[in-house]
């Protein structure tokens, strides 16, 4: 399976093409749109979310809600395009409008301008924008339609916002409750303090990042490989998470904690229970030697604070090369809930690629039959 996206933040639409999906997967449009809505939700979001109401339009590859086995193409219209058409239209535009030269630290602006020989950061930021992740969420939700058929489920929650941590230990079945909460935190006190901090940061023109945790339940053992570095499951999942805008760190299982503990406190003991091989703990996060081991996969991703600060950071004007305050685009104070949804979806997409690579199959029945035969 292969996924490709295209589109600018204030262009006509965000589009995607998914190749390699088997035929006869039931595509739940309402489920996909629910995930797109969740990506736009969460305490601390900015004005753009009041304009857009993301909904998927499937252009090809699906008939009567079932995949055909052909490439699935979709679009998500940018409703804000009408306000940007004069300076963004591919047919011809006034590029002097909304020109951006006060490059923003932490963004792709300056490095992208130098790499692509541009004098307007607009030509960089429009694609580097997190708006692109709408396509990743749509794709991940489509992949979940397939994963759910196999009994593989993906969920998560917000574990930390700007140092305020939810220290709870939750069952997988409890994680779904997070999506009904304003900051996707399951601990009431931590969520209350985090929301108060967002209010404080908003008045100061500052921003916050955080940590999201994603878990996968139901994946059988043996996906990924110990034989080649490029096929290790943890490598593929971590790469998927690191590809998301603003993610600067990823952990699997105990993660960096393994460096601070002795081996006897890290590695998961193996025992037999009624003839079934079990592990006493899951510090490995469901992955050993680059392969799934049948336990829940546990991943955490660290999101940096949003680099567009309303008060503006120190920078230079690219034209004059004189000191300046960074330009302020319409922005969020915190987008950690969006990050959690996006993280779930890129994990679901990467898992689907791994599963289909191992199992093959031109239609859903073949895939399910082959998965059922695995131990």
> Could you tell me what percentage of the chain is helix, strand and coil, using 3-state DSSP and rounding each to the nearest 5?
40, 20, 40
Tokens of 132: 């692109």
**CA terminus-to-terminus distance, the chain:** 24
Tokens of 105: 């630290």
Ranges under pLDDT 70 in the chain: 47-51, 329-330
pLDDT at 49: 59
Residue count of the chain: 375
Cβ-based neighbour number of residue 313 at 10 Å: 13
At 310 the pLDDT is 81
Alpha-carbon distance 20 to 13, whole Å? 23
pLDDT tens digits along 176-197: 999 999 999 999 999 999 999 9
Q: What is the pLDDT of residues 194-226, one digit of tens each?
A: 999 999 999 999 999 999 999 999 999 999 999
Strand ranges (DSSP E) for the chain?
A: 2-6, 13-19, 57-60, 62-63, 66-67, 72-77, 153-161, 164-165, 210-217, 247-252, 270-273, 276-279, 287-288, 291-292, 297-303, 314-316, 323-325
Sequence-separated (6 or more) residues with CB below 8 Å from residue 366: 22, 359, 360
Q: What pLDDT does 330 receive? A: 61
C-alpha 130/C-alpha 101 separation (Å) is 20
pTM: 0.96
Q: Which residues contact 211 (CB under 8 A, 6 or more apart)?
A: 158, 159, 160, 165, 300, 301, 302, 303
Query: How many whole angstroms separate alpha carbon 206 and alpha carbon 235?
Result: 33
Burial-class residue 36 by CB neighbours within 10 Å (0-12, 13-18, 19+): buried
**How high is the pLDDT of residue 375?**
87
List domains and CATH numbers for the chain.
Answer: 2-373 (3.60.150.10)
- Report the C-alpha gap between 107 and 324 in whole angstroms: 16
Collapse the DSSP code of 80 into the 3-class scheme (helix H, G, I; strand E, B; otherwise coil) and give the result.
helix
> Residue 76 has which token pair?
């998500």
CA of residue 61 relative to chain centroid, distance: 24
């Amino acid at each position: 399976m292969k996924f490709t996206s295209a589109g600018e933040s204030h262009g006509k639409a965000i589009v995607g093409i998914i190749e390699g999906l088997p035929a006869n997967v039931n595509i739940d449009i309402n489920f996909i749109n629910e995930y797109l809505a969740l990506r736009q939700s969460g305490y601390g979001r900015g004005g753009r979310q009041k304009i857009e109401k993301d909904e998927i339009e499937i252009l090809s590859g699906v008939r009567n809600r079932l995949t055909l086995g052909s490439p699935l193409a979709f679009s998500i219209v940018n409703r804000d395009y009408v306000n940007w058409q004069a300076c963004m239209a591919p047919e011809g535009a006034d590029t002097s409008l909304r020109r951006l030269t006060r490059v923003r630290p932490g963004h792709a602006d300056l490095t992208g301008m130098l790499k692509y020989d541009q004098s307007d950061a607009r030509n960089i930021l429009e694609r580097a924008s997190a708006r692109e992740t709408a396509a990743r969420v749509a794709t991940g939700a489509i992949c979940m339609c397939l994963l759910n058929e196999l009994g593989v489920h993906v969920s998560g929650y917000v574990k930390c916002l700007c140092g305020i941590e939810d220290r709870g230990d939750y069952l997988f079945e409890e994680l779904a409750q997070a999506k009904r909460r304003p900051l996707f935190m399951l601990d009431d006190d931590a969520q209350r303090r985090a929301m108060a901090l967002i209010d404080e940061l908003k008045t100061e023109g500052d921003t916050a990042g955080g940590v999201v945790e994603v878990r996968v339940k139901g994946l059988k053992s043996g996906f990924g490989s110990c034989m080649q570095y490029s096929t290790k499951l943890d490598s593929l999942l971590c790469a998927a998470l690191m590809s998301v805008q603003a993610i600067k760190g990823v952990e699997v299982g105990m993660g960096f904690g393994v460096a601070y503990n002795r081996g006897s406190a890290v590695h998961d003991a193996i025992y037999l229970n009624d003839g079934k091989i079990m592990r006493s703990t899951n510090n490995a996060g469901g992955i050993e030697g680059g392969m799934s081991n049948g336990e829940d996969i546990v991943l955490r991703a660290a999101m940096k604070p949003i680099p567009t600060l309303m008060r503006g950071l120190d920078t230079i004007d690219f034209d004059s090369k004189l000191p300046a305050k960074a330009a302020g685009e319409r922005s969020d104070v915190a987008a950690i809930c969006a990050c959690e949804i996006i993280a779930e979806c890129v994990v679901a997409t990467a898992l689907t690629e791994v599963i289909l690579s191992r199992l093959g199959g031109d239609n859903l029945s073949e895939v399910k039959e082959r998965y059922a035969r695995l131990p």
